Amino acid sequence: MKQYDLETVIRRVGLGSGKWDEIQKILGYTPEDVIPFSVADMEFVLAPEISEGLQNYLKNCVLGYAQPTEEYKEAVKGWLSRRHGWNIETDWIRDTPGVINAFFTAVKAFTKEGEGVMLMTPVYYPMYFAVSRHNRKLVENKLVRTGDTYEIDFDDFEAKAKDPNTKLLILCSPHNPSGRVWRREELERIGRICMDNHVLVVSDEIHFDLISPGYKHIVFASICEEFAMNSITCTAPSKTFNLAGLQTANIIIPNPELRERFYDEQKKDDGNPKCNILGLEACKIAYTECEDWLEQVLTVIERNRQIITDFIKKEFPQIQIMKLEGTYLLWMDFNGLGIECHELAKILKEEAYLFFDEGFIFGESGEGFERWNLACPTRYIEEGLKRLKNTLHNHI
């Protein structure tokens, strides 16, 4: 197997990267040995098949108006079949500029103002925006903390699904930030409750390729035809291959009525909705040529997780790390240190130069947590842990 460069980091200072610019904004400069561990994109160089493939593509293309090609669609179909055991039809695919765009569109297309949208919290914060910015009612199903993981409160879930005003569930699978990979029996129970109560499932599965050893992701819509016809599946190559800047997501809608309503809603905001032509090409290349790169990235992520887990267990037993089943985002509970969450964020950034995503942005139950992005060369994890140790021992 070809060995990829997963050691080089390209410093994105002043290049439009919000996560890098935050360091400059807070510190006034960007230290040479510091990278951000916040926003969920990777600090690995792009797979060379993608960068070289796009360069070759640019030599022979015209960057005019374009539609998704059959090659792109076949690449998406092949990836879903090969990696996830889900065989889809070409006409099920709708392309959007991103998964966030997709669940925003779905909320507008399938609910009315004042109607309920259920979220399983704490959860990816743009999902709250999809509810609040469109004057929908937030229906909160709080996950139940059990040791180093979370479980679904199904009694609460079912009670809220039975409310006739609850029309839609945005399912985060794998779950961000908790790191849960939902088991088949959990997904089946979610699906059955939603079917019985006429709740549409919009399943954000953007992290579905990033699964820890010993766990298996199951695409919600692949479980049975009933679930497929009552769901919209949001996928993208952006997390898997670090392509978020190319604004391309693959939205799978088997139900033709839902697919048409979704597209009609897209056209209300954008009379001619299209993805980035280079994003479609990059997606095709990634899904047909870059699986070995992904496998090596997964190995680095798992190594980084283990290094942090071992270190924290030894040096800071007051910090509890939640079990990472999927994503590359480690959910860490700092509440045992007894430091108020906003003060903790200030200490970590300004003294330890550790730029995480604060837990409170994911909802009230995330207060006192920090989310650590593991998709980077291991040496930066090790340096970050040294700074964490040196800083926290001055505050506890």
- For the record, the structure tokens of 97 come out as 């500029």
Digit-by-digit pLDDT tens for the chain (396 residues) are 799 999 999 999 999 999 999 999 999 999 988 999 999 999 999 999 999 999 999 999 999 888 899 999 999 999 999 999 999 999 999 999 999 999 999 999 999 999 999 999 999 999 999 999 999 999 999 999 999 999 999 999 999 999 999 999 999 999 999 999 999 999 999 999 999 999 999 999 999 999 999 999 999 999 999 999 999 999 999 999 999 999 999 999 999 999 999 999 999 988 777 888 999 999 999 999 999 999 999 999 999 999 999 999 999 999 999 999 999 999 999 999 999 999 999 999 999 999 999 999 999 999 999 999 999 999 999 999 999 999 999 998
Classify each residue of 228-255 as buried b or exposed e, where b means 16 or more C-beta atoms within 10 Å of its C-beta. bebbbbbbbbbbbbbbbebbbbbbbbbb
* Neighbouring residues of 384: CB distance < 8 A, sequence distance ≥ 6: 37, 352, 354
Helices 48-59 and 277-289 sit at what angle, rounded to 10 degrees?
130
User: What tokens appear for 212 in the block?
Assistant: 């820890």
**116-121 and 137-142 beta bridge pairing:** parallel
Q: Which pLDDT score, from 0 to 100, does residue 301 have?
A: 98
CA angle 65, 69, 74 (to 5 degrees): 160
The whole-number pLDDT of residue 269 equals: 81
Judged on CB neighbours under 10 Å (0-12, 13-18, 19+), 38 is buried
Domains of the chain: 18-46+291-392 (3.90.1150.10), 65-289 (3.40.640.10)
Please state the separation of Cα 213 from the chain's center in Å.
Answer: 18
Instruction: Kindly state the DSSP code that residue 365 receives in the 8-state scheme.
Output: G
Joined together, the tokens standing for residue 61 give 């293309």
